[in-house]
Structure 1
Amino acid sequence: MQALSGIEGATYEVLPSHHSDPFRDQVVRAYEDSAGDWQKVLGEQLHFQWGVFGHPDAPRAVSLDEAGLSYLERQLAIATQDGAGDTTLRRVLDVGCGWGATLRHLAHVFPDCPRVDGMNVSAEQLAHCADLVRDVPRPDRVHLYLCDAADIAELPDPEQPYDLVVARGVITHLPPRVYETAVEALARRMRPGSLLLVSETLYSEDFLAHEPGLPADTDHLALGHRKSLRYLTDVLREGGFRIRDDRVLPSPEDAARWVLELKSNIDVHFPETAHPPLEAIRRMASDLAVALLQRRVSVHSILAERAPV
């Protein structure tokens, strides 16, 4: 393993890349700022993939940390009820593991799984992730890789297939060719019958037809490659997966609340100006909330099974 520069004790392995993708650098730039600034906006745990808030008459307010964890737990419940719990997990992968909240939870939920892998293109996020997973049961099970989605084939130990792969909020960052390449590579690295759990922000055909694209010089969150549900699932099917479950989750109301709470936190902690990615959230939040409530944009939880070869 290779030590992260300037961060004592944090380690990851750098995997080779065999393709050129300028958009990858844009994704890296989106997350190069301090995790502390992001925590002021997202919450201490840094769940950056929507949230489920529960009933509006709940006895107390639900925090972003709680909402983010609730959404992850809802997704894992769908997966385990649909088959993942019937098989002993030997290897799990978190694609685009970010700051590590999902990866850490997977290591806790599956304490007997001997191999829990996380991959990401941001060294800054991997540094935080490496520190976060130190308290999981048997932390030596956790392996971190600086790796682009297009280079999933380079993950070590190909003779040991993955039983569960989680991809939450990562497909949104991938250009179509990279997404298609990643799906094909994943299919080769997963055993037949294994599960791929996806959470993704998707756009209606009407939205994609009428809304202008995001100019590269203002796309500070690297969200320019918008995708429809049909495209996302067609690629999965063509790549060797069959869709077992697809539902809008969180609800449009919860999703709108989540993005508006991010904007509120930015306004509170950065009233004048913030780093470009946070400013991008501030600018887009209100319009995105309206689009979510109008069902022109939706967040989908998708469970796909690796079909038999």
Structure 2
Amino acid sequence: MAHRSHRHHHSASGPGGPDMAALLDLDADVLHAHLSEVATWLADLTGGVPVRRILDLGCGTGAGTFTLLRRFEDAEAIAVDASPQLLHHLRGRARELGVADRVRTVEADLDAAWPALDDVDLVWASASLHHLADPDRALRGVFTALRPGGLLAVTELDGLPRFLPDELGLGRPGLEARCRATLAHRHAETLPQLGADWGPHLSRAGFTVETERPVTIALEPPLPESAGRYAQAVLRRMRAGLDGLMGTDDLSVLDLLIDNDGPESVLRRDDLTVRTERTVWLARRPPVAI
């Protein structure tokens, strides 16, 4: 995106371009079990109350949208993002899945203006709040859009996933850890809310936090073929942000790993893992007192 909000949707090919769309689709494919688990937690919290209208904030290519539509079969979804390219991709995916009639897209920069949305039963905000200049303002908008008793799911991550063994066999042990540490230092300035405790933010906006759950994802070999492409996409995104910040020796090895055809490419390695930590907050707008 060209805005401050949801900058995780930028890519080397331009805001919301095909590289980022591919990365988000691979993330959804490789980590689909995590998405389904969160959707099940939400269903448990509904207490049997029907979910008719879902709002997906910073929807990207629709991982949350489609997971929730599968879980809540009578619901429709409103998918909000600042990137017209990603919304176009999402609409195409909705047609492929046969749910186009249940999805409406809204292009909006949540740092600029809150879209006119209300009477929502469930809101999904995955890896989007920390990109906002004023997340408290956005959460107040979510609170207003939700019906009394409605639910909000916030998922945030500690950084990009990890894939490589510490001993690469390429003369640069600990490469991935150094790359992440370098980017973390940069993100401390550009994304100060990354890694924040969102519980106090939710409470200030009027929500009651039902549960906060840290989630550790650790996928070991053998991995699906898509995991190699996922690692390549993430490491390419990492590489694009490291120019001028790391030495040429480290960057040269990183280039070997993200190459399509070389023997050291992550597309050909059999020692990859997928490791990431995320935290999920499930919160409710208090019901109206009788």
Q: TM-score range by the shorter chain?
A: 0.5 to 0.7
Instruction: Report the counterpart of residue 75 of structure 1 in structure 2.
Output: 38
Closer/same/farther in 2, CA of residues 186 and 151 from structure 1, 3 Å limit: farther
Residue 149 (structure 1) shift: 2.4
| 2:132 is the counterpart of 1:132 | no
Q: Distance in 1 between matches of 2:287 and 2:141?
A: 15
Overall identity of the aligned pairs, in %: 21
Instruction: Report the counterpart of residue 264 of structure 2 in structure 1.
Output: none
Q: Distance in 1 between matches of 2:43 and 2:99?
A: 22
Task: Answer yes or no: is the 8 Å Cα contact 1:120–1:145 preserved in 2.
Answer: yes
Task: Answer yes or no: is the 8 Å Cα contact 1:28–1:121 preserved in 2.
Answer: no
List aligned pairs for 1:167-178, cutoff 5 A.
167-175=125-133, 177=134
Instruction: Report the counterpart of residue 187 of structure 2 in structure 1.
Output: 214
Instruction: Report the counterpart of residue 15 of structure 2 in structure 1.
Output: 32
Q: Spell out, residue by residue over 1:36-60, the C-alpha distance to the aligned partner (whole angstroms, 9 max, x if none).
A: 6753xx4xx71547xxxxxxxxxxx
Residue 265 (structure 1) shift: 2.0
Residue 197 (structure 1) shift: 0.9
Structure 1 unaligned residues grouped into runs of 5+: 1-20, 50-64, 204-210, 217-222, 286-291
Structure 2 unaligned residues grouped into runs of 5+: 160-183, 255-273
Task: Answer yes or no: is the 8 Å Cα contact 1:247–1:302 preserved in 2.
Answer: yes
Q: Spell out, residue by residue over 1:266-290, the C-alpha distance to the aligned partner (whole angstroms, 9 max, x if none).
A: 49xx9xxx5x6663399899xxxxx
Task: Answer yes or no: is the 8 Å Cα contact 1:153–1:186 preserved in 2.
Answer: no
Q: Distance in 2 between matches of 1:37 and 1:24?
A: 15
Q: Distance in 1 between matches of 2:99 and 2:88?
A: 19
| 2:248 is the counterpart of 1:248 | no
Task: Answer yes or no: is the 8 Å Cα contact 2:94–2:100 preserved in 1.
Answer: yes
Task: Answer yes or no: is the 8 Å Cα contact 1:108–1:137 preserved in 2.
Answer: no
Instruction: Report the counterpart of residue 187 of structure 1 in structure 2.
Output: 143
Q: Distance in 2 between matches of 1:202 and 1:169?
A: 10
List aligned pairs for 1:82-161, cutoff 5 A.
83-84=45-46, 86-113=48-75, 115-150=76-111, 153-156=114-117, 158=118, 161=119
Closer/same/farther in 2, CA of residues 214 and 112 from structure 1, 3 Å limit: closer
TM-score, with structure 1 as normaliser: 0.62
SS state of the match for residue 250, structure 1? strand
Instruction: Report the counterpart of residue 200 of structure 2 in structure 1.
Output: 234
**CA RMSD, aligned part only?**
4.0
Closer/same/farther in 2, CA of residues 249 and 141 from structure 1, 3 Å limit: same
Closer/same/farther in 2, CA of residues 262 and 171 from structure 1, 3 Å limit: farther
Instruction: Report the counterpart of residue 300 of structure 1 in structure 2.
Output: 279
Instruction: Report the counterpart of residue 180 of structure 2 in structure 1.
Output: none
> How many residues end up aligned between the 2 structures?
233
Residue 172 (structure 1) shift: 2.4
TM-score, with structure 2 as normaliser: 0.65
Q: Distance in 2 between matches of 1:137 and 1:186?
A: 28
Closer/same/farther in 2, CA of residues 261 and 149 from structure 1, 3 Å limit: farther
Residue 243 (structure 1) shift: 1.1
- What amino acid is aligned across from residue 248 of structure 1 in structure 2? P
Q: Spell out, residue by residue over 1:203-249, the C-alpha distance to the aligned partner (whole angstroms, 9 max, x if none).
A: 9xxxxxxx644388xxxxxx62334443x211100101111111111
Residue 85 (structure 1) shift: 5.2
Instruction: Report the counterpart of residue 57 of structure 1 in structure 2.
Output: none
Q: Spell out, residue by residue over 1:86-120, the C-alpha distance to the aligned partner (whole angstroms, 9 max, x if none).
A: 1111211111110122212322322212x311000
Q: Distance in 2 between matches of 1:108 and 1:261?
A: 27
Task: Answer yes or no: is the 8 Å Cα contact 1:94–1:103 preserved in 2.
Answer: yes
Q: Distance in 1 between matches of 2:242 and 2:149?
A: 38
Closer/same/farther in 2, CA of residues 154 and 247 from structure 1, 3 Å limit: same
Residue 132 (structure 1) shift: 0.5
- What amino acid is aligned across from residue 141 of structure 2 in structure 1? A
Q: Distance in 2 between matches of 1:23 and 1:278?
A: 21
| 2:145 is the counterpart of 1:166 | no
SS state of the match for residue 249, structure 1? strand
